[in-house]
């Protein structure tokens, strides 16, 4: 005689809870974008892949200019509205399947782009600058400008995450300095 003994359990709630925990660890709750921690992990992977292939990648840093004035003069609720709108506009412009927009910090966003062609990325960055010249939904008296810095792997002898991020940071601060 053959006997079989087994136990069956539905682990769906456990898996759903694990997914919620991952979202809490890797997503920014205010914008529903992935956060800095997850970006840094993915940037390492992208840089390693790019160094083994001929495909260029790019990092675009976007900093909201003088954002502390919005929080100080209009309050944090309006500031949160402005951040959500800037996140939405970033996703609207950088919408290719190869582009991922992340919330990098308080008033900074970063875009990781595969298939990085400098001319395309420059055009998209200019589109974002134009879009930012329009007033913010739900805060019509506010127009939030941004400074943008970009770094592509095309000009690097050795492609590393640190190098890409550093060059994008330098370019963004140069952009901010030039107004």
| Active site residues per annotation | 107
User: What pairing do the DSSP bridges indicate for beta strands 34-35 and 99-103?
Assistant: parallel
Contact between residue 159 and residue 54 where contact means Cβ atoms under 8 Å apart: no
Contact between residue 146 and residue 64 where contact means Cβ atoms under 8 Å apart: yes
Distance CA 2, CA 139 (A): 72
- φ, ψ for residue 146 (rounded to 5)? -135, 155
């Amino acid at each position: 005689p053959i006997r079989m003994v087994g136990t069956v359990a539905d682990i769906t709630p456990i898996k759903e809870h694990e997914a919620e925990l991952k979202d809490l660890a890797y997503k920014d709750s205010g914008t529903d974008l992935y956060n800095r921690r997850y970006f840094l992990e993915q940037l390492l992977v992208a840089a390693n892949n790019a160094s083994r292939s001929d495909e260029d990648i790019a990092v675009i840093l976007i900093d909201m200019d003088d954002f502390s004035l919005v929080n100080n003069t209009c309050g944090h609720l309006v500031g949160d509205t402005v951040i959500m709108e800037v996140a939405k506009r970033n996703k609207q412009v950088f919408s290719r399947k190869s582009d991922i927009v992340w919330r990098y910090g308080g008033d900074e966003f970063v875009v990781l782009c595969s298939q990085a062609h400098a001319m395309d990325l420059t055009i998209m960055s200019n589109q974002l600058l134009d879009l930012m010249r329009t007033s913010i939904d739900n805060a019509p008296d506010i127009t939030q400008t941004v400074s943008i810095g970009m770094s592509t792997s095309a000009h690097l002898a050795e492609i590393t995450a640190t190098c890409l991020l550093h060059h994008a940071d330098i370019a963004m601060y140069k952009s901010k300095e030039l107004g």
